[in-house]
């Protein structure tokens, strides 16, 4: 399992870093992790579209689009976990619809 930095934790970044700077830094770290693990050893990356376990946090602007691009670049499936935020709970039917991405797999559960 690859554990990467949470782009919504502002204390991990330089004081006053913009959303775009946080996204760029987090994506660079994620790509480094992919390369260290070996891209061919990673089948998929799974994300909560909107982080709900530690509060309600949207990824910084450009982050999820960058994750989608990295998945495409390295042939990795993108899975969006919609268990907590799917079915209209964020104002859109799926949480990933807040970003300009289309995941390969969407998870949902019976929290209807």
Indicate if the alpha-carbon torsion angle 35, 37, 42, 47 is positive or negative. Answer: negative
Distances (CA, A) of 57 to 49, 80, 92: 9, 15, 15
- Note the pLDDT of residue 110: 74
Q: What digits encode the pLDDT tens for the residues 17-40?
A: 888 888 898 899 899 999 999 999
Query: Which CATH fold topology does 10-107 show?
Result: 3.40.640
pLDDT by residue for the chain (112 residues), tens digit each? Answer: 666 666 667 666 677 788 888 889 889 989 999 999 999 999 999 988 877 777 777 788 899 999 999 999 999 999 998 888 788 788 899 889 999 999 999 999 876 6
**31 with 63: CB under 8 angstroms?**
no
């Amino acid at each position: 399992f690859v554990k990467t930095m949470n782009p919504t934790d502002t204390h991990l970044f330089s004081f006053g870093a913009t959303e775009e700077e946080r996204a760029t830094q987090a994506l660079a770290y994620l790509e480094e992790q992919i390369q260290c693990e070996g891209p061919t050893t990673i089948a998929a990356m799974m994300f909560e579209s909107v982080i709900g376990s530690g509060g309600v946090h949207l990824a910084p602007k450009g982050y999820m689009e960058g994750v989608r691009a990295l998945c495409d670049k390295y042939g990795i499936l993108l899975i969006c976990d919609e268990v907590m935020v799917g079915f209209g709970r964020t104002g859109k039917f799926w949480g990933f619809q807040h970003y300009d991405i289309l995941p390969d797999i969407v998870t949902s559960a019976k929290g209807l």
